[in-house]
């Protein structure tokens, strides 16, 4: 049998990032936390946490933490059906739900669904940010129970629902467009005009260029891994970028941004994928995600 007090110690270290904070969370001494984790590692014969600042779980440690969270979910189901077994409300451990999404969804529409879910439940949320093309990998590896993905591929063991498309506009400041695209958008102009790119995984600019010109072009680029900084940099004339229509609209209306080519948007299809074993338990979350998507995404 697994020592669940040791598992809780490990999970607390991973969640808080330190043995000291984990001790405060579980109301024990740091040495007790250290001993429990050490005993668990010795029993399993593997390292479960990398000591550092912060402390992080190894791949094996992540699986142990996910197991403990699944046990917590099962316990909550049991208490619902057999309330006489439940401890006092304040003693019921709060379960953390792990989700994955892309940064632009979080900045434009997904946060509303998460907030509504958090206010209507006792769950804690741990949201991972990754490119929409890669969030499905987190789900497939068992690191999250649900994800907003940009892939139509159904992750094995999951349910998939189409959400709609997040619309992007190729935008820049009027001064930037006048300086770099006074003769229009061309392959030659794009090879010299600095673009804005979220990170190395971000291919939105490439997709838009291929959609417009039908070819691949290597653009000089600034890397800015922040949705808000992305649009602020566009307004400041730092470069041109693919900004979510929802965030770009007020700047377009006030003339702080203009489209490189009017009405030439790029629509990125999004899907909600959730582990089948958790689908019923988190049906409310799915409903909230669908409602938020319907309000903010395009068909």
Q: Residue 242: name the closest of 205, 216, 211 by CA.
A: 205
When divided into structural domains, the chain yields a total of: 2
Lowest mean pLDDT among 40-49, 91-100, 131-140: 91-100
pLDDT exceeds 50 at position 91: no
User: Does the pLDDT of residue 25 top 70, yes or no?
Assistant: yes
Last residue of a domain, one of 63, 89, 115: 89
% of residues, the chain, pLDDT over 90: 69
pLDDT recorded at residue 86: 64
The mean pLDDT of 116-123, rounded to a whole number, is 92
* pLDDT tens-digit series, residues 149-187: 998 899 999 999 999 999 999 999 999 999 999 999 999
Q: Do the domain assignments include residue 20?
A: yes
The most confident of 4-18, 34-48, 227-241, by mean pLDDT: 227-241
Which of 74, 89, 104 terminates a domain? The answer is 89
Q: Does any domain span residue 283?
A: no
| CATH (domain of 239) | 3.40.190.10
Tens digits of per-residue pLDDT, 247-267? 999 999 999 999 999 999 999
Q: Give the pLDDT mean for 273-286.
A: 92
pLDDT of 212:
94
Place of tokens 């338990």: 281
Compute the average pLDDT of residues 216-241: 95
Q: Name the H helices within the chain.
A: 4-16, 19-26, 30-44, 59-81, 103-105, 111-120, 135-140, 174-180, 187-190, 204-213, 227-235, 245-253, 276-279, 283-296
| 291 within a domain of the structure (yes/no) | no
How many Cβ atoms sit within 10 Å of the Cβ of residue 211?
A: 13
Rounded Cα distance between 241 and 252, Å, is: 13
CA nearest 196: which of 212, 178, 173? 173
Lowest-confidence pick of 57-71, 85-99, 112-126, 271-285: 85-99
Q: What is the mean pLDDT of the chain?
A: 91
Are residues 173 and 84 located together in one domain of the fold? no
111 located within any domain:
no
Residue 68 lies in a domain: yes
- Using the predicted structure, report yes or no on whether residue 38 has a pLDDT greater than 50: yes
- pLDDT higher than 90, residue 61: no
Q: Are 130 and 102 in contact, with CB atoms under 8 Å apart?
A: yes
Domain containing residue 55: CATH number: 1.10.10.10
Domain that includes residue 80, residue range: 1-89
What pLDDT is attached to residue 289? 98
Residue 112 inside a domain? The answer is no
16-28 mean pLDDT: 90
Residue 250 in tokens: 């007020």
Structural tokens at position 14: 């991973």
Q: At what angle do helices 283-296 and 111-120 cross, to 10 degrees?
A: 150
Whether 5 is in a domain gets the answer yes
User: Is 208 domain-assigned?
Assistant: yes
């Amino acid at each position: 049998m697994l020592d669940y007090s040791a598992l809780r110690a490990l999970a607390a270290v991973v969640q808080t990032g330190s043995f000291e904070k984990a001790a405060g969370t579980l109301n024990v001494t740091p040495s007790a936390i250290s001993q429990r984790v050490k005993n668990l590692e010795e029993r399993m014969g593997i390292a479960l946490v990398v000591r550092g600042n912060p402390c992080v779980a190894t791949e094996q440690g992540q699986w142990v933490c996910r197991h403990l969270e699944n046990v917590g979910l099962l316990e909550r189901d049991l208490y619902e059906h057999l309330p006489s077994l439940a401890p006092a409300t304040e003693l019921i451990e709060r379960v953390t739900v792990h989700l994955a999404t892309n940064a632009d969804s979080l900045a434009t529409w997904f946060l509303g669904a998460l907030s509504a879910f958090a206010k209507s439940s006792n769950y804690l949320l741990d949201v991972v940010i990754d490119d929409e093309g890669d969030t499905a990998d987190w789900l497939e590896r068992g690191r999250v129970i649900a994800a907003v993905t940009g892939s139509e591929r159904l992750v094995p063991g999951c349910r998939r629902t189409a959400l709609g498309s997040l619309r992007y506009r190729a935008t820049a400041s009027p001064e930037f467009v006048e300086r770099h695209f006074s003769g229009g958008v061309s392959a030659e102009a794009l090879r010299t005009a600095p673009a804005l790119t979220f990170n190395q995984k971000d291919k939105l600019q490439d997709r838009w260029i291929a959609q417009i010109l039908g070819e691949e072009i290597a653009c000089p680029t600034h890397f800015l891994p922040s949705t808000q900084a992305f649009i602020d940099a566009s307004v400041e004339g730092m470069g041109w970028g693919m900004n979510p229509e929802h965030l770009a609209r007020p700047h377009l209306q006030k003339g702080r941004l203009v489209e490189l080519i009017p009405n030439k948007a790029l629509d990125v299809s999004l899907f909600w994928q959730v582990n089948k074993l958790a689908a019923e338990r988190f049906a409310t979350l799915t409903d909230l995600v669908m409602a938020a998507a319907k309000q903010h995404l395009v068909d």
